[in-house]
Structure 1
Amino acid sequence: MSTPLPLFAGRRFRVSYDGLAADNHYSADGRHVQYAIVSGPYAGARGAADCQWQAIAEGVYAISWQEADGATVVHVDDFGNGCSLAWFTASDGSFHRMQGTLQPLPHD
């Protein structure tokens, strides 16, 4: 029995927090993310990473990844209600807790 694909697989989303926004593009299998910070102190940072996810409730997922520079990211994203909680440790060791909105973006 195979695990069903997550709701976000093959889709793009913008997460917007107070002082930071990022675009996340998830692979069709839900195992990889391409990210681009579009505003805030880390604007211009971009890359790709393997990600892992766990369904928490209908439309709600915990998603985590580690970026090439060592930064770690954990999201709890509620795709049904457009809400995102995120925690990340930047490569400089600073720790950030954020909450904000989650919006689908058009396909490329």
Structure 2
Amino acid sequence: MSMHDKTLLPTFAGRSFQVEYEGLSAHNVYSADARSVRYAIVSGPYAGASGEAACQWQQIADDVYVISWQEADGATVVHVDDFTAGHSQAFFTATNLTFYRMQGPLTELAPQESAL
């Protein structure tokens, strides 16, 4: 798949994933067209935050994508997710302007496991 061919859907389209970072865990459910994400922070200081946001993505290597969105409360999120290796790196700016750099495992959720 060409990195520049947006007519093909990314690996994560229509799928749900859990990310586990030190002190924070979240569920991300991507729409079938990969244009939006439903998110829920399930543990950590922002537990209970959830919503849906438009997202943008760019493939940067085989099965590795940069995915970004702005949450309902104004927080911004950028992920670099390797869906083959099961690894996520995230950069998150909270509404109080605290900036987080996080990394950890990325695992697919069965539909009934999602907190959404």
TM tier relative to shorter chain: over 0.9
Structure 1 ranges of 4+ moved more than 3 A: none
- Residues matched between the structures, number: 108
The structure 1 residue matched to 2:76, chosen from 64, 68, 72, is: 72
CA distance in 2, matches of 1:68, 1:35: 10
**1:3 — aligned with what?**
7
CA distance in 2, matches of 1:81, 1:55: 15
- Taking structure 1 as reference, are residues 90 and 2 closer, same or farther at Cα in structure 2, changes over 3 Å only? closer
2:28 matches 1:30: no
- Matches for 1:77-92 after TM superposition, within 5 Å: 77-92=81-96
Please tell me the root mean square deviation across aligned C-alpha atoms, in Å. 1.1
**What's the TM-score once normalised by structure 2's chain length?**
0.90
**What's the TM-score once normalised by structure 1's chain length?**
0.97
Q: Which runs of 5+ in 2 are unaligned?
A: none
- The one-letter amino acid of 1:67's match is E
CA distance in 1, matches of 2:8, 2:48: 33
The answer to which structure has the higher strand fraction is 1
Q: Which runs of 5+ in 1 are unaligned?
A: none
**1:40 — aligned with what?**
44
